[in-house]
A and B are shown apart, each in its own frame.
Chain A
Amino acid sequence: TQLLEQSPQFLSIQEGENLTVYCNSSSVFSSLQWYRQEPGEGPVLLVTVVTGGEVKKLKRLTFQFGDARKDSSLHITAAQPGDTGLYLCAGAGSNDYKLSFGAGTTVTVRA
């Protein structure tokens, strides 16, 4: 059972469209991270959010941490084929040594 629930599970859009991926939990996390994983590779960190209500922008990607630090969203503006991949959210407790991952959202951007 995943501690973090991600939705949708799959997302297929046309180049230039926008998309949003959601990550929800009943648990409070001291920080939440978003990773992107491409086939045959390990996950690569995109961003870490630590403050409730925090919004971070990374070029066309916008990440938000919920006020209660239980949920997060990833929004991609004007998606490009290079954005294709598995997007994973992962939560961490304070002074914790492990990450709890969601099942991931597979994003496909068609040219």
Chain B
Amino acid sequence: DAGVTQSPTHLIKTRGQHVTLRCSPISGHKSVSWYQQVLGQGPQFIFQYYEKEERGRGNFPDRFSARQFPNYSSELNVNALLLGDSALYLCASRVGRVNTGELFFGEGSRLTVL
């Protein structure tokens, strides 16, 4: 079975641009979460979507938005990119909404903002 897949794996943007990152969860998983991992830090929670609705949001500005589609795949959008948005963006999926059961991470999308 395929794991969590993310695209693109690497991308370079300039300040002020917009970026869309995509995630396909493991088949049967209805919950998708997004985390930002800055170099030298642990992942920081951005969003959780469950059954196509936002169920939780971390301490990130409104420039960050996301959505989940009927097939449970998800997109993370970041507007007006700043240098500080450079990070590894991780998508993770699990079967249910709350912290029961394993959380499976994708390999991430490495965003560099110049």
> B45 is contacted by which of A6, A43, A99, A103 (Cβ under 8 Å)?
A99
In the complex with contacts A40-B107, A42-B90, A42-B108, A98-B42 CB distance below 8 A: no
A99 lies within 8 A of B99 (CB): yes
In the complex with contacts A92-B99, A96-B98, A98-B33, A104-B42 CB distance below 8 A: yes
Number of interface residues of B (CB under 8 A): 27
A101 lies within 8 A of B44 (CB): yes
Residue A26 CB within 8 A of the other chain: no
- Residues on A with beta carbons closer than 8 Å to the beta carbon of B45: 98-100
- Residues on B with beta carbons closer than 8 Å to the beta carbon of A96: 98-99
* Chain B residue with the shortest CB-CB distance to A92: B99
- Residues on B with beta carbons closer than 8 Å to the beta carbon of A41: 107-108
Q: Which bucket holds chain A's interface residue count? A: 20 to 34
A14 to B42, CA, bound (A): 25
- Residues on A with beta carbons closer than 8 Å to the beta carbon of B103: 33, 45, 99
CB-defined A-B contacts under 8 Å, sample of 28: A4-B42, A30-B99, A33-B103, A40-B107, A41-B108, A42-B90, A42-B92, A42-B105, A44-B105, A48-B102, A88-B43, A90-B42, A92-B99, A93-B99, A96-B98, A97-B55, A97-B56, A97-B99, A98-B33, A98-B45, A98-B48, A99-B45, A99-B99, A99-B103, A101-B42, A101-B44, A104-B41, A104-B42
Which residues of A are interface residues toward B (Cβ below 8 A)?
2, 4, 6, 30-31, 33, 40-45, 48, 88, 90, 92-104
- Name 5 extra pairs, CB < 8 A, besides A42-B108, A98-B56, A103-B40: A33-B103, A43-B43, A88-B43, A97-B31, A99-B99
